[in-house]
Chain A
Amino acid sequence: MHSVVVENLRKQYKENVAVDDASFKVNEGETFGLIGPDGSGKTSIFRMLATLLVPDGGEAHVCGWDVVKNYKEIRKSVGYMPGTFSLYQDLTVEENLHFFATIFNTTITENYSLIKDIYVQLEPFKNRRSGNLSGGMKQKLALCCALIHRPEVLFLDEPTTGVDTVSRKEFWEMLKKLKKEGITILVSTPYMDEATLCERIGLIQKGRLLSIDPPQVIIEKYPKALYAIKSHNMIELLSALRELPLIGSVHSFGEHHHITIVDRTLTLLDIRATLEKELPYPFQIDKIEPSVEDCFIQLMEK
């Protein structure tokens, strides 16, 4: 059984194609990540699934309901957390939660068990206006408000953008707990490191889905050998490596450059020997496992 089914979904803003024939399915109780850079169409997909935007083509079903025809049913059974904080900033934490509980015809106590772990962290600030909360706290409150009616599917559009590393980690811990409650989670993020926390991820670029697989499979599918290289002069190294016919691609990754080698039969020793002839300065090279980001870049270049 699928909670979310998207088939050839299209959305166009004048000449700009935001979502281009996107198709994917999310299983019940699954945590599915949409990973892609800014402007790749993630938010448009979310807004169409949350019934805020009418698709130009294709179909989408949430909990078995059509997003255009049965939007009323969908609104009862999904929780949506938009990328920007959009709760009432002039109402307090408690008032916001109470308000959203009421318009979903429920009460805070009825579904308190679901939000308890998150809400205890907010409790000390419950009389503070939500506009005066820190970024991380705002996200937690928004998550509480999206969960207060115990939705079957939760749409989280870039929930961790602009939030510090510790809060991000906490946030994903919370999502893990929600998964245990059987809630289907569709989450988008521009951070590749968060991708591995999802059960399956869809890599999206320019409105097209490049691949849909569990993160492990995506990594296993990486077709080339990947090496990390480092030296004292990284900028010069980058341009020098790009000149070499031996090397397929070079990308700067923090303190290393990730390189792929065209000829897969070469061993690390062979490569090191070749490079030592070419490069006049000392360097350090190691074979590494590709990350999701490497996979994404490789897929993008195809």
Chain B
Amino acid sequence: MRTLRFLLVKEFKQIFRNRTLLPMIFLMPLIQLLILPLAADYEIKNINVYVVDHDKSTFSRDLISMIISSGYFKLVDYDSSYKRALSEVERNKADLILEIPNDFERNLNRDRVQKVFIAINAINGTKAGLGGSYLSTILKEFNKNIVMELDHSFDGKKALKRIDVVNSNWFNPYLDYKTFMVPAILVILVTMIGAYMCSLNIVKEKEIGTIEQINVTPIKKHVYVLGKLIPFWIIGMGVFSIGFFVISWGVYGIVPIGNILLLYGYLALYLVALLGFGLLVSTYAENQQQAMSVAFFFVMIFILMSGLFTPIESMPEWAKWIAKGNPVTYFIEVMRMVVLKGSGYRHIQNHFLIMMGFAVVLNFWAIANYRKTS
């Protein structure tokens, strides 16, 4: 015990004396957490729309003002030449063309039927898809208004006789992207810090040769390994707490609905598994460069296959299996479940069991592979 205490004192002294590492540990996640969710927003705003209006009637003007006031679209120009509009798309100035035909208002009044033309620049698929669907929603809304306006005099019932779909979003009523992403990004940051710091630290001792000096001492293998894991476990907890309370709660106003202690319980277990991974990498790597490359390779896969950006449900079958073998997946799920949904222990029981499995396998593998002789 006394030895372990001194190992910890030594480790913390070294960490706090490292002028590059210390700001990296605490500042980097905070800055990333402040910038990433704001910049990487799924909601598409500022779609440039070019309106080609051949009608120039009250109806067409109503439609245009409805589009602009939705907040998603920006009017590039208002013109009556489709050719000119297309050249704007070619120059990447416009994303969408809305063409309103001649006699738009007259046909609507007379025949109750009219068509408009939408051309979408599909180079950016997400923007095109979302822009198109936003615009159709607005057109539908416009359509409803017109029907009401034109038909209220003689056949009001007919207009109302249809299925109306009303959505209610649970757990994140305003579909706020940040509420969904910030807790998950916090998981990624804790993962990166834990995996990199832990593996690099041990490999550094190999590189400098201090591990030789340690190896000829009667120090026990597990005591030495614990002396390495505990500091980064504490740092992981610290980084998470700052991200969770200061940024997530303080800046973004994401108030966790579930039990915070439960979340910390899971974090504690997750860090044990993650540090086991870092340790495992360090037992295989000869120098810091190797450790960095290997850790980077895995962390990258962990992030992209964790359901952070794309839902796991929509992945192909084989990819789902990879995601299932990824510890990050489970923590992100737990994070979202507890913070947004208020899940209790019985809902994440399986997650606890699986993470326990990761922790045991990774750590035992690492300790078995860490040799004091070569």
List residues of A whose CB falls within 8 A of some B CB.
50-54, 71-72, 75-76, 78, 80, 82, 84-91, 95, 98-100, 102-105, 145
- Chain A residues contacting B6 (CB-CB under 8 Å) are 98-99, 102-103
B214 in contact with A103 (CB, 8 Å)? yes
- Chain A residues contacting B3 (CB-CB under 8 Å) are 102-103, 105
Q: Would you give 29 A-B contacts (Cβ < 8 Å), ordered by A? A: A50-B216, A51-B216, A51-B372, A51-B373, A52-B216, A54-B373, A71-B373, A72-B218, A75-B216, A75-B217, A80-B213, A82-B209, A82-B213, A84-B209, A87-B210, A88-B10, A88-B14, A88-B210, A90-B18, A95-B10, A99-B6, A99-B10, A100-B213, A103-B7, A103-B218, A103-B219, A104-B218, A105-B3, A105-B218
Q: Out of B14, B209, B215, B374, which one reaches A90, CB within 8 Å?
A: B14
What 0/1 readout, one digit per residue, does chain B (213-240) give for beta carbons within 8 Å of chain A? 1111111000000000000000000000
B7 nearest CB neighbor, chain A only: A103
B373 in contact with A53 (CB, 8 Å)? yes
B216 in contact with A78 (CB, 8 Å)? yes
List residues of B whose CB falls within 8 A of some A CB.
2-3, 6-7, 10, 13-14, 17-18, 208-210, 212-219, 372-374
A86 in contact with B218 (CB, 8 Å)? no
Nearest chain B CB to A142 CB, angstrom units? 9
A102 in contact with B2 (CB, 8 Å)? yes
Q: Out of A54, A87, A89, A105, which one reaches B213, CB within 8 Å?
A: A87
A54 nearest CB neighbor, chain B only: B373
Nearest chain A CB to B219 CB, angstrom units? 5
Are A91 and B10 CB-contacts (below 8 A) given A52-B216, A86-B213? yes
A95 in contact with B13 (CB, 8 Å)? yes
B14 in contact with A82 (CB, 8 Å)? no
Nearest chain B CB to A115 CB, angstrom units? 16
- Chain B residues contacting A50 (CB-CB under 8 Å) are 216
**Bound-complex Cα distance A87 to B3 (A):** 17
Nearest chain A CB to B65 CB, angstrom units? 66
A86 in contact with B209 (CB, 8 Å)? yes
**Bound-complex Cα distance A90 to B18 (A):** 8
Nearest chain B CB to A279 CB, angstrom units? 52
**Bound-complex Cα distance A71 to B215 (A):** 11
**Bound-complex Cα distance A113 to B63 (A):** 95
B224 nearest CB neighbor, chain A only: A103
Nearest chain A CB to B281 CB, angstrom units? 22
A155 nearest CB neighbor, chain B only: B216
**Bound-complex Cα distance A103 to B10 (A):** 11
A100 in contact with B373 (CB, 8 Å)? no
Nearest chain B CB to A11 CB, angstrom units? 11
B374 nearest CB neighbor, chain A only: A53
**Bound-complex Cα distance A90 to B3 (A):** 19
- Chain A residues contacting B10 (CB-CB under 8 Å) are 88, 91, 95, 99
Nearest chain A CB to B13 CB, angstrom units? 6
- Chain B residues contacting A145 (CB-CB under 8 Å) are 213
**Bound-complex Cα distance A75 to B221 (A):** 13
A82 nearest CB neighbor, chain B only: B212
B216 in contact with A104 (CB, 8 Å)? no
**Bound-complex Cα distance A159 to B213 (A):** 15
Are A52 and B374 CB-contacts (below 8 A) given A75-B218, A87-B213, A102-B2? yes
Given A84-B209, A103-B217; 14 other pairs, CB 8 A cutoff: A50-B216, A54-B374, A75-B218, A78-B216, A86-B210, A87-B213, A88-B10, A90-B17, A90-B18, A91-B10, A102-B3, A103-B7, A103-B214, A105-B218
**Bound-complex Cα distance A54 to B373 (A):** 7
A48 nearest CB neighbor, chain B only: B373
**Bound-complex Cα distance A50 to B212 (A):** 10
**Bound-complex Cα distance A52 to B217 (A):** 11
- Chain B residues contacting A103 (CB-CB under 8 Å) are 3, 6-7, 214, 217-219
- Chain A residues contacting B218 (CB-CB under 8 Å) are 72, 75-76, 103-105
B213 nearest CB neighbor, chain A only: A86
- Chain A residues contacting B215 (CB-CB under 8 Å) are 52
B217 in contact with A100 (CB, 8 Å)? yes
- Chain B residues contacting A104 (CB-CB under 8 Å) are 217-218
B217 in contact with A86 (CB, 8 Å)? no
B212 in contact with A52 (CB, 8 Å)? yes
- Chain A residues contacting B2 (CB-CB under 8 Å) are 102, 105
- Chain A residues contacting B374 (CB-CB under 8 Å) are 52-54
Closest 7 CB pairs of A and B: A86-B209, A102-B6, A80-B216, A76-B218, A75-B218, A86-B213, A103-B217
Nearest chain B CB to A207 CB, angstrom units? 18
- Chain B residues contacting A87 (CB-CB under 8 Å) are 210, 213
- Chain A residues contacting B373 (CB-CB under 8 Å) are 51-54, 71
- Chain A residues contacting B213 (CB-CB under 8 Å) are 80, 82, 86-87, 100, 145
- Chain B residues contacting A88 (CB-CB under 8 Å) are 10, 14, 210
**Bound-complex Cα distance A90 to B373 (A):** 25
**Bound-complex Cα distance A98 to B214 (A):** 14
**Bound-complex Cα distance A187 to B268 (A):** 48
- Chain A residues contacting B7 (CB-CB under 8 Å) are 103
Nearest chain B CB to A163 CB, angstrom units? 17
Nearest chain A CB to B215 CB, angstrom units? 6
- Chain B residues contacting A78 (CB-CB under 8 Å) are 216
A80 nearest CB neighbor, chain B only: B216
A76 nearest CB neighbor, chain B only: B218
**Bound-complex Cα distance A41 to B221 (A):** 28
**Bound-complex Cα distance A76 to B374 (A):** 19
- Chain A residues contacting B210 (CB-CB under 8 Å) are 86-88
- Chain B residues contacting A85 (CB-CB under 8 Å) are 209
B371 nearest CB neighbor, chain A only: A54
Nearest chain B CB to A183 CB, angstrom units? 16
Nearest chain B CB to A100 CB, angstrom units? 7
Q: Out of A52, A76, A84, A91, which one reaches B14, CB within 8 Å?
A: A91
**Bound-complex Cα distance A52 to B373 (A):** 5
